[in-house]
């Protein structure tokens, strides 16, 4: 399937609209790096919404590899964080299984994330911008408000994952 798994040399991962990339890059070039250090304020949460410019971005606390799985209809998706994968992990079967998980099996996070751009990026906070030195994912979401839900420990025989489902309201 060739899905891109995002990883970095340290820190959380971000899901950020394209319009904020220049703001992130400008901050990363400063000695203070205020935005980068703000991402460390996740404090016991798996996921938070962090103010950024006139909007916000999503900060995922877990540092394991992450990827995006779009809904088949394109108006939502699942941000996947890998806790571990063993030999024999089949990505295509995994994607098929997680797309079939009913919404009521996810727990509420109380985050409602407003998306204005159709183009977002999933990348490690330690990177200057998407693709500067680490892998990234380009994510397409229909503008709107998304409720974020979670399965904290999705276990398979050969892997364990945290699933964050973005459900368009």
The whole-angstrom separation of Cα 82 and Cα 22 is 28
- Domain ranges in the chain are 13-168
pLDDT one digit per residue (tens) for the chain, 169 residues: 468 999 877 779 999 999 999 999 888 878 888 898 888 877 778 999 999 989 999 999 877 899 999 987 778 999 999 998 888 888 899 999 999 999 999 999 999 999 999 999 999 988 888 888 888 999 999 999 999 999 999 998 788 999 999 999 9
The answer to whether 163 touches 69, Cβ cutoff 8 Å, is: no
The whole-angstrom separation of Cα 101 and Cα 138 is 23
Phi-psi region for residue 23, left (φ > 0), alpha (ψ -120 to 50) or beta?
A: alpha
pLDDT at position 1: 47
What is the b/e burial string over 140-162, where b = at least 16 CB atoms within 10 angstroms of the residue's CB?
A: ebeeeebbbbbbeebebeebebb
Going by C-alpha positions, the residue among 47, 53, 54 that lies closest to residue 15 is 47
Token pair of 124, please?
């490690």
The whole-angstrom separation of Cα 37 and Cα 40 is 5
pLDDT at position 163: 97
């Amino acid at each position: 399937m060739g899905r891109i798994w995002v990883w970095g040399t340290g820190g959380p991962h971000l899901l950020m609209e394209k319009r904020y990339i220049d703001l992130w890059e400008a901050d990363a070039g400063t000695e203070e790096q205020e935005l980068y250090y703000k991402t460390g304020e996740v404090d016991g949460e798996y996921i938070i919404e962090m103010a950024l410019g006139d909007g916000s971005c999503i900060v995922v606390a877990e540092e394991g590899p992450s990827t995006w799985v779009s809904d088949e209809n394109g108006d939502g998706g699942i941000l996947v964080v890998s806790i571990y994968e063993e030999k024999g992990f089949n990505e295509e079967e995994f994607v098929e299984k997680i797309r079939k998980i009913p919404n009521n099996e996810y727990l509420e996070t109380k985050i409602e994330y407003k998306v204005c751009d159709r183009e977002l990026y999933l990348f490690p906070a330690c990177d200057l911008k998407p693709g500067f030195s680490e892998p990234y994912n380009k994510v397409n979401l229909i503008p709107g408000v998304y409720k974020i839900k979670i399965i904290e420990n999705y276990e398979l025989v050969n892997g364990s994952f945290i699933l964050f489902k973005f459900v368009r309201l």
